[in-house]
Structure 1
Amino acid sequence: MAKSMKNPPAYGVTSVDHALQLAVILQVEGPLTVSEAARRLGVARSSAHRLLSTLVYRDFAVQNADRSYRVGPVLEMAAKAQSNVSALRSAALGPLQTLVDTVDETANVTIRTGRTVRFIASIECRQALRVGNREGMVFPAHQVSGGLVMLAALSDDELTALYTHLPADATEDRPDLTELRAELRAVRRSGVAVNLERSERGVVAIGRGVTDTSGTTIAAVSVSLPSVRYSAGRVKKLVAALTVAADSVSAALDEDGRDSRH
């Protein structure tokens, strides 16, 4: 049975959703202008200005001298941690687009924080029936392919510590650790993780890890597709394309790191 479906709430307030989208953009991508905000949201400049002004009022954003906006005090600590995420996202966008062009399915990059993963980049394919953009969304790590890949990089002791010290009143889904360990052993052997409608009904995803120069898994690249287009026969091609993409992201990060040291 699918869990944690990410469907828009029936009672959603558009202005609130737009403000939250802007907060995500500021965190993930950095400063933006009123015009850029209006273009990204598909709203009038006056509406974008009001949204950004509200974020400034609540200390979620600050206006720069050049009249662009950046993250404010409320998000500043997270923004500092995002410096590495921004570099990762920049390194991933090119390989991610190549991946989409190769397999004609939506592609994503995720990072893990504790027991959750966050989509920091997502590029949709052009097919009419496709998985939508997931950028900014958060899922339990054990429910998505990228999360499974990153959990597989942990030792058994690290995995146990991660899931056995949950607060007594925690409402998050608790995985069966015995089952999870068995699944992660399979992920380690194959190097990939498959999510068959586990996080969202009708969606299948395959993920592969992105490593840094020390071989540490720091992120995951995944391909998401409608379950009606998934077949065992496609897996080999998808995994091959994912491997190229993951290696390309790692290489781009290594190159950026060398450039910053010179």
Structure 2
Amino acid sequence: MKNPPAYGVTSVDHALRLAVILQVEGPLTVSEAAERLGVARSTAHRLLSTLVYRDFAVQNADRSYRVGPVLELAAQTRSDVAELRAAALGPMRALVDVLDETANLSVRTGRTVRFIASVECSQALRVGKREGMVFPAHQVTGGLVMLAALGDDELSALYAPAPHGRAEERPDPAKLRAELRAVRRSGVALNLERSERGVVAVGRGVRGPRGDTVAAVAVSMPSVRHSPRRLKEVVAALTTASTAISAALEDGFRYAADEG
């Protein structure tokens, strides 16, 4: 049996316990959290609010709390993310060298995407790194290209109404399907200041060794540098980068198979 550390911080311990409860047992209310921890409701509320702020929890429409994107991402093994980063960083640096714009790599977990790698460009006016950030999948380019890889049934199940879901978490189904059809036709997604004013982003999917879309690579730039001509340059460079990342993943897969 483990003994609690002499230097333990009670608030940290409480927050970690709540995170485990959410992941293992499912949604709970402020009152339930207070009862489980043996603390006041105000303390439980502050702890849950902190978990929400750091994306470890999400508040439902009924005021209860459920597991957030960070803990959902834990379903993806650490080695998977590390492998993706290792395969992508070289091609992403080359992409930034060609375009001198910031590049990001993201993965999808349910309805959200998390940026797992960023390479920032050197221009004075530039888009900053997004590594570690979480966004709704339908609001960012990487999310759109990964959603476009889903079948109709998968997409319907993903965005099916849920008792604990918030209305703002679900995009308009008809509008989303139309947008995803356009992404499938072109192979890229374009974000014209949708998720951030003054920022334009272009994304393309990254295929894994089995042919499925496992990630997305995107380029973000200030809207003042966006133009039809620039878009063609970005798409060409993105295609080269995504192909290189996929090839690196394939090489790693073959090496692992040979070693096994």
Superimposed CA distance per residue, residues 112-158 of structure 1 (whole angstroms, 9 cap, x where no aligned partner): 00000000000110000000000000000000001000000001111
Q: Identity across aligned pairs (percent)?
A: 67
Structure 2: tracts of 5 or more residues without a match:
1-11, 13-69
Q: Assess, with a 3 A threshold, how the Cα gap between structure 1 residues 201 and 80 changes in structure 2: closer, same or farther.
A: closer
Cα distance in 1 between the residues matched to 2:145 and 2:76: 25
SS at match of 2:104: strand
2:103 to 100, 104, 107: 107
| Cα distance in 2, alignment partners of residues 85 and 166 from structure 1 | 29
Root mean square deviation of aligned Cα: 1.9
Report the Cα distance in structure 2 between the residues aligned to 1:240 and 1:220, rounded to whole angstroms: 15
Q: Distance in 2 between matches of 1:146 and 1:78?
A: 19
Equivalent of 1:185 in 181, 184, 191: 181
Counting only pairs closer than 5 Å after superposition, residues 153-232 of structure 1 correspond to structure 2 as 153-170=149-166, 172-232=168-228
Query: Which of 74, 84, 87 does residue 83 from structure 2 map onto?
Result: 87
Q: Give the residue type in structure 1 aligned to 2:254.
A: R
Residue of structure 2 in register with 1:252 after alignment: 248
Secondary structure, in 3 states, of the residue corresponding to 1:164? coil
C-alpha separation in 2, matches of 1:221 and 1:167: 33
- Return the offset for 1:233: 1.3
**1-structure distance, mates of 2:225, 2:163:** 40
Q: Does 1:126 align with 2:111?
A: no
5 Å-filtered alignment, 1:38-49, equals none
- The gaps in structure 1 that reach 5 residues or longer are 1-15, 17-73
Question: Whole-Å Cα distance in 1 between the matches of residues 109 and 127 of structure 2?
Answer: 24
3-state SS in 2 of match to 1:241? helix
Q: Which residue of 1 aligns with 2:239?
A: 243
| Per-residue deviation, residues 91-123 of structure 1 (Å, max 9, x unmatched) | 000000000000000001000000000000001
User: How far apart are the structure 2 equivalents of 1:249 and 1:165?
Assistant: 35
Write out per-residue CA displacement over residues 1-57 of structure 1, whole angstroms, 9 at most, x where no aligned residue: xxxxxxxxxxxxxxx9xxxxxxxxxxxxxxxxxxxxxxxxxxxxxxxxxxxxxxxxx
Cα distance, 1:81 vs. partner? 1.5
The amino acid that maps onto 1:252 is: A
Name the TM-score, length of structure 1 as normaliser. 0.69
Q: Which amino acid aligns with 2:185?
A: R
Aligned CA distance change for structure 1 residues 216 and 169 (closer, same or farther; 3 Å): closer
Q: Whose Rg is larger?
A: 2
For residue 167 of structure 1, report the CA deviation from its aligned partner: 3.2
Tell me the number of residue pairs that the alignment of Structure 1 and Structure 2 aligns.
189
Q: 1:136-191, CA deviations, whole angstroms, 9 ceiling, x for partnerless residues?
A: 00000000001000000001111111111333452643210100000000100100
TM-score calculated relative to the size of structure 2: 0.69
